[in-house]
Structure 1
Amino acid sequence: MADLVVFYEHPQWFEPLFRALDRRGLAWAALEIQSHSFDPADTTLPAPVILNRLAMSSFLRQEEHALFYSMAALDHWQSLGARVINGPGVLAYDTNKARQLSLFRKAGLATPATRVAHRRADVPRLAAEIGYPVMVKVNVGGSGTGMIRYDTPEELEAAVADRLTPVGVDGVALIQDYVPARDARVIRCEMLDRKLLYALALDGAGSTFDLCPADVCMVDKPTITISEFKPPAEIVRAVEKVAWMSGLDVGGIEYMVDDRDGTPRFYDLNAMSNFVAKPLEVLGWDPHDNLVDYLLPLIAAQQKAAA
């Protein structure tokens, strides 16, 4: 049996991770999510340590996506004693932007003004409470999908009448204040072991809602430039607090500075990070090595417990 299983879906994103695992000599195996099935009565583990690499955007690539299926599979293995990295607890936040916003509030952080609805007919009324322009967003998102800006009540009401406002896989929508990001910049804080590993400034992010910084994501987004960013100490404390509260082992937390009042507003927690494109150029080091360093003692602990 392998010491580590990587439970993954995207066919390209994890090649750098796989190379790092091979380079360091780990006994690991890849387990593709999309073709997977399991028996709830089976007590056999695929590995004592399972690294969950489920991407929320998987529903864009497969009609029969495995988002909610994966939570059941990971919970099954966790109940049998596996160490699941980014387990079902944090996935319950990753698959629910409304819950993320409540989590940020509980952590004492500012968020964009938001209303949550499950009926399209309620969207114009809720948008009027917030004021225009507004974003209408799906609750389960990925790669910027299901996000539309509406500048006037007439524009939104016409979209509602034509049933064109975003509807996600769970039927829940967020009606949210459009926050003008200072300098058109979004900050992504990448976490490992619930601590800040590094942060990125995505400049020009106002040109797209798809902010994935991986090589395969950036092909059609030349207007975004990515550089390392050093967040202030209070932001570091904030994102580490959120990581602990949510159970985020490895992933990203995003915020922007509201240009109207200078307030950092947090809006996204993502439990699937494929790290930055060209890390040696951007950071001067490869985060995959840090991820392997994190995995090794977890594997050793599981081996010791089983001995």
Structure 2
Amino acid sequence: MSKIYVLHENNEWTIHLQKRLDELQLPYELWHLDEGIIDLSSEPPEGVFYNRISASSHTRDHRFAPEFTEAVLAWLALHNRKVINGMRALRLELSKVNQYTALNACGIATPKTLAAVGKKQIIEAAQTLNQSSFITKHNRAGKGQGVQLFHSIEALKDYVYGPNFDEPVDGITLVQQYIEAPEPYIIRHEFINGEFLYAVKVDTSEGFELCPADACAIDDKFCPMGEDSAPVAGVDHPKFEILSNYRPAFIELFESFMKANKIEVAGIESITDKDGKVYTYDVNTNTNYNSDAEEKAQKFAMLALAKYLEKEREKL
């Protein structure tokens, strides 16, 4: 009998999907790909393989999980197995440069960004960007790694040549235009089977002086998967709110982007500047969901995901 195979490296981010698979009594197996062996002369089992490897795996001491996952995906491709979020999705997950170029190719605006390798080159990139305020971030990131806001080149030099410089795992630092939103929030757009499911508004009014554009990644407590969606102090709404009657025209561009890049499941984050221009700054292909916001809206993405995986398994 074929199964649903979940490729991952973080048990905490997988348990919510497990619960839905159990609830629907579906046959599944978890493959934790921090370590392992592949016999390339063997055949993979029959089933649907769902890739949930994260760009932040190295922060959990799973440094080579993405590389091992790529090897597994190559093995699965050789045997024509059905893969959800395959090789292209993995490469976009691991590189914001790949994300931005792919988004731009589909007509989706991203913040102006320069990629630099080397400390001297980071400074030169900021000088070339020529913005009064700008941010740095890691190319292969997650959890807000390397995100810093600067208001001068001198402040950047102090950071880059100081003891607190955060070296990117792939060596690439991004120097990026700072998008200042007139209201403190970003919106994360969730997609399953390449189709828009819902959007969640993420309040960034508490603790996000650093960079509103990375609001739900700077600290674990603001991750959309977090259980705490209580109102922020002084604010009469929760940090995570699923929007109703929301479908702006650019959703079609997002869906076209996902189709072009063979991504089936993702959360795409955007921010709007004071002139009303929307910038897309992150594509998360191992997206998670906030349970309190879903309960209030009565929309359940992990349930929809489990049903989608089963539908793909049934096609086999």
TM-score (norm. length: structure 1): 0.90
How much does 1:266 deviate?
A: 0.6
The separation in 1 between residues aligned to 2:150 and 2:230, in whole angstroms, is 24
Listed as ranges, the matches of 1:137-286 within 5 Å are 137-162=137-162, 164-204=164-204, 207-208=207-208, 209=214, 210=217, 212-215=223-226, 225-229=239-243, 230-259=245-274, 261-286=275-300
How much does 1:231 deviate?
A: 3.9
Which runs of 5 or more structure 1 residues have no equivalent in the other structure?
A: 303-307
Listed as ranges, the matches of 1:84-95 within 5 Å are 84-95=83-94
Match of 1:5 in 2: 5
User: Are 2:310 and 1:296 aligned?
Assistant: yes
Secondary structure (helix, strand or coil) at the match of 1:124 reads helix
TM-score (norm. length: structure 2): 0.87
Deviations 1:63-105 (A, max 9, x none): 5341222122122112212111111111111111011111121
The separation in 2 between residues aligned to 1:80 and 1:193, in whole angstroms, is 22
How much does 1:285 deviate?
A: 2.7
Query: Does the aligned pair in 1 maintain the 2:193–2:265 contact within 8 Å?
Result: yes
The AA in structure 2 aligned to 1:125 is E
How much does 1:164 deviate?
A: 4.3
Match of 2:122 in 1: 123
Match of 2:50 in 1: 51
How much does 1:37 deviate?
A: 2.4
Secondary structure (helix, strand or coil) at the match of 1:265 reads strand
Structure-2 change in CA distance of 1:63 and 1:120 (3 Å): farther
Structure-2 change in CA distance of 1:161 and 1:121 (3 Å): same
Query: Does the aligned pair in 2 maintain the 1:49–1:83 contact within 8 Å?
Result: yes
The separation in 2 between residues aligned to 1:14 and 1:126, in whole angstroms, is 38
The AA in structure 1 aligned to 2:33 is I
Query: Does the aligned pair in 1 maintain the 2:89–2:262 contact within 8 Å?
Result: yes
The AA in structure 2 aligned to 1:214 is M
Query: Does the aligned pair in 2 maintain the 1:17–1:288 contact within 8 Å?
Result: yes
The separation in 2 between residues aligned to 1:50 and 1:10, in whole angstroms, is 16
Secondary structure (helix, strand or coil) at the match of 2:156 reads helix
Once structures 1 and 2 are overlaid, which stretch shifts more, 161-170 or 65-74? Answer: 161-170
- RMSD value, Cα: 2.2
Deviations 1:177-202 (A, max 9, x none): 11112311111000111110111110
Secondary structure (helix, strand or coil) at the match of 2:35 reads coil
Task: Count how many residue pairs are aligned between Structure 1 and Structure 2.
Answer: 299
Query: Does the aligned pair in 1 maintain the 2:34–2:68 contact within 8 Å?
Result: no
Structure-2 change in CA distance of 1:14 and 1:177 (3 Å): same
% identical aligned pairs: 24
Match of 1:62 in 2: 61
The AA in structure 2 aligned to 1:97 is K
The separation in 2 between residues aligned to 1:78 and 1:97, in whole angstroms, is 24
The separation in 2 between residues aligned to 1:64 and 1:13, in whole angstroms, is 17
The separation in 1 between residues aligned to 2:146 and 2:289, in whole angstroms, is 23
